Amino acid sequence: MAHPRSYRWLILILGISLCTTPLQAWSEGSDDLPEIGAASGNLFTPLQEQQLGKTFMRYVRATQPVIDDPLLDDYINKLGNSLVEHSEGMGSKFTFFLVDSPVINAYAGPGGYIGVYTGLVLTTQSESELAAVLAHEITHVTQKHLQRAWYAASNMSLVQGAALVAAVILGATVGGDAAVAAATGAQAAMQQRQINFTRQNEKEADRLGIGILYAADYDPRAMPSFFTRMGRANHSYGTELPEFLRTHPVTNSRIADSLGRAEVYSYKQYTDSFRYLLTRSTLRERAFHEARDAITYFTASLREGRYRNKAAATYGLALALLRNDQYAKASSQLNTLLQEYPDTLEFIITASRIDMEAGNKRRAISRLEDAVEKQPLSYPLQITLAEFYLRAGKAKTAYRKLSFLASLRPENTHVYKLLANAAADMGRQAESHQHMAMHYYLKGNLEASALQLKIALRVPNLNFYETARLESQLKKVQEEIADLKKKK
């Protein structure tokens, strides 16, 4: 769950959502949506939608445990964008992210931001099923099914509008959360915040999503297969439905319709990618609160042959051993894997991390440098190498690499935190606080961001341009804080 402090922002967000335009028009069955380019002029331009999406994402980070692991982030974005390139959104920017929660759900936000809960990934039985959910959410974006929320937000400031959209979308996915219920104070308000796509929206997302799956070389039958299992769960769960079933109701007619559409494609065998299997092992290992329990689970799985892929199960065991500080045993497992799969990112980075944690910094860095020479465009390799340079006392080298990475991934919260540490090690105190302010800003913690900028302004001997830049950034953050506190 999110850090308790983050709920302060959620309370503000929900307060805005309860004091603004009524949300009845968003309930299922209401079709009086404004057309694109309507005379009212209230709909967003592509640039405004992109800005709304970026601001929306900050409030997602403030209220949900978004994973910033570079390997997991790399996998879900490569999978998602491989589907985008076979959709009507081809060429558009989409950002996919994982939320660390057992919740079985996914959601689409403005600007192409699509969140996937780790519980859903672990529930899927094939990569095609995971791709099916992503394709479905991509279609909700490309077909403008979110216009209800966006239209209401268009009457507000960017910050308030993004907060409202976040409340609407996240209200649908975490509607049962006790902290959220306490913040709203009324069950009616909980229901008002729901965003339910119409049956026509869902059928269209299914139809186009199945086409995307086939075009991207994933099993089009995975969509009805996943729906069928969710439908069976519908009967099993009773009133305590998984969130996926609340926000994406599965009916017999919907299953039959998607199955009929999938059957027009010729049958063939589809195999899961190795990275999908490694991602599932990673998430399975993370799901255990205690590393010892994860070690027991993966050890038993390997001993009894209860695995889909032996290398992926071995990787899960190695991760658990690393978390339990059993470096020699973890290294032994990784060395075996690297002999068979020498170019696999997960194995290279984890083996290097074992070396680093065991105190062998030189070998950890050397391994990563060799890998970067072979795969220079790999973001996970580059940011891990920068982190290790920093830990090895090579702040200047780390700073140069991190500055470049920040230009490539300007919304990556982790890179700004590392930049702050590198700048501090180099004696650039004001710059260090400025980077940390950006880290907090992207995480949606505006108060902490403002505090970092105030500290930076107190650093002695700032020149005029540094002072002006910091004051401008502080003013922007303070205006957003004040904007959020306004009641419409």
Cβ atoms < 10 Å from Cβ of 355: 22
DSSP, collapsed to helix, strand or coil, labels residue 40 as coil
Tokens of 128: 């095609």
Is 355 an annotated catalytic residue? no
- Contacts by residues 422-426 (CB-CB < 8 Å, ≥ 24 positions apart): 422/390, 422/395, 422/396, 422/398, 423/399, 425/390, 425/393, 425/395, 426/395, 426/396, 426/399
Nearest to residue 170, comparing CAs of 228, 101, 69?
A: 101
Contacts of 266 (CB under 8 A, 6+ apart): none
Ramachandran area for residue 112 (φ above 0: left; ψ -120 to 50: alpha; else beta) = left
Q: What is the DSSP letter of 35?
A: P
Which residue in 52, 75, 243, 213 sits closest to 138, CA to CA?
213
Task: Write down the H helix ranges in 124-198.
Answer: 127-142, 147-153, 158-173, 178-184, 187-192
- DSSP, collapsed to helix, strand or coil, labels residue 43 as coil
Task: Report the 10 Å Cβ neighbour count for 185.
Answer: 11
Find the catalytic residue in 49, 73, 137, 387: 137
Residue closest to 3 by CA, chosen among 485, 421, 486, 440: 440
Pull the structure tokens for residue 396: 């200047």
In angstroms, rounded to a whole number, what is the distance separating the alpha carbons of residues 112 and 137? 9
CA 35 to chain centre: 30
Quote the CA–CA distance of 82 and 117 in Å, as a whole number. 19
Has 32 been annotated as catalytic?
Answer: no
What is the dihedral angle through the alpha carbons of 384, 385, 391, 395, rounded to the nearest 10 degrees? -120
d(CA 151, CA 33): 8
Sheet of 106-108, strands arranged across: 95-99, 113-117, 106-108
CA distances from 200 to 5, 61, 204 (A): 39, 31, 6
Rounded distance, CA 329 to CA 450, Å?
45
Tell me the catalytic residues. 137, 206
